[in-house]
Amino acid sequence: MVSISLLEASMAILCFLILHYLLFKKPHGRFPRNWPVLGMLPSLLMSLHRLCDYSVEILEISDLTFLFKGPPFFGMDMLLTVDPANIHHIMSSNFSNYIKGSEFQDVFDVFGDGIITTDSELWKNLRKSYQAMVHHQEFQRFSMSTVASKLKDGVVPLLDHFAEEGTIVDLQDLFGRLTFDTILILITGTDPRSLSIEMHEDELAKALDDVGEGVLYRHVKPRFLWKLQNLLGLGQEKKMIQANATFDRVCSRYISAKREEITRSQGVLDTSNRESEDLLSSFMKLDTTKYKLLKPSDNKFLRDTILAFILAGRDTTASALSWFFWLLSENPHVVAKIRQEIIDIDLPRTGNGQENLDTLVYLQAALFEAMRLYPPVSFGRKSSIESDVLPSGHRVDANSKIIICLYASGRMKAVWGEDALQFKPERWICENGSLKHEPSSKFLAFNSGPRTCLGKHLAIIQMKMVAVEILQNYDVKVIKGQKIEPVLGFILSMKHGLRVTITKRC
């Protein structure tokens, strides 16, 4: 009996030591070790808290493309790449072979069948309808006037208040509220007024935050595990279920209110004021036979459309602005150059002189440089229909999972040079002073190929308007000692926010 007890104790200690070694000891060399049965999962778990920087290290030493092997039958094998040639091949030249796929739609199921999650004919038809509306001059004027109004009546009074009170403010939270209010006005015509001194929490904004985190965890967990958690309503999946219910309830409220508004106006909107027509009104009047889409009476179609526009226009812009202002705080010489450029083109102190914003080349270079280092979306995902060979020589089997690491892409010395980790707006300026063009397969902040962001120009103008308003009229000082790091999520937000103080400039 003593010998059996001793043997059991020895086996338990041995198992503990092996498990501890697998989970906590760093593998030899810098590559993740491919263990029997476990694959590279232990390395992933060890590095989950710093996944973005870990991906940079791995891709830098693996010639820009790396095959991650998960445990057999777990469906976690994936090819990670930041090679511009591979990205161009996947996103453009062989676009038809690389789709979002059923697994992607499964991971992003809470967003339904919007333009971000769909493929093939449905995606093409959705994109045509979105493009017609977003690129319409009336909507673009509505977009610019909405941003200008939100700056004048929302951001400026709020910053003045913080400056007078000497209050510390989370700038990332402020930008998130600005973009949330703006995109909701553009979509529904209704202002949620989350940008206020009270800074109240909006249930839809909260649900979007929960989903962003949940989507990331679905990528790094075995599919069967998060599916089981979803079925049982456990852990992060419980938040996903609650967020989905919030999406349904809030979108239904907006759709019902819009239908009542149209009914009150006898089913015909006032064409004399089409410049301020929101997207939900436009989609309710959509000629579905022209675009081969569901009828606008279909609540699910309208719900998915609302969420697609919110996802595209809220957190992405807020994230870009947050990292931009943090980088400016670390590089005061860049602030001086931007302010001088604003003076040189004689922008008015208020209103931003929208017609002159395109001439702010150095400001745009600084914004692009911030998005190179901190892209609003941290990664993209594709699935292959048929087997293929990438320009790098890597073979891709049918139904392979491919992850394009946007965060790592902007930090590759092999792509951007030895100064890749430096914030250097000058890299975007040509000798003649014009803005330098970089191929979208290299600079992926606005996606690439046929899926390039439809609202790219509007987003750039919006960010310029916000930057000019703040840099002209305020000094922003970042609180020392706070930890600035990216959150583990689909959107590259700051994990702890960006705490600053505001001082009004003379």
Chain centroid to CA 122 = 23
Q: Which two tokens stand for residue 93?
A: 């030249």
| Helix, strand, coil % in the chain, rounded to nearest 5 | 60, 10, 30
Instruction: Report d(CA 367, CA 462) in Å as an integer.
Output: 11
Closest CA to 376 of 399, 411, 406: 406
Pair 278, 134: CB distance under 8 Å: no
Instruction: Report d(CA 15, CA 7) in Å as an integer.
Output: 12
Instruction: Report d(CA 446, CA 376) in Å as an integer.
Output: 9
Those residues whose C-beta lies under 8 Å from the C-beta of residue 59, and which sit 6 or more positions away, are 65, 66, 80, 81, 82, 405, 408, 412
Beta bridge partners of 404: 81, 380
Side-chain half-sphere CA neighbours of 324 within 13 A: 28
Give the annotated binding-site residues for heme.
453
Q: Which two tokens stand for residue 138?
A: 């009336």
Pair 78, 68: CB distance under 8 Å: yes
Closest CA to 40 of 83, 13, 74: 74
Pair 140, 456: CB distance under 8 Å: no
Give the annotated binding-site residues.
453
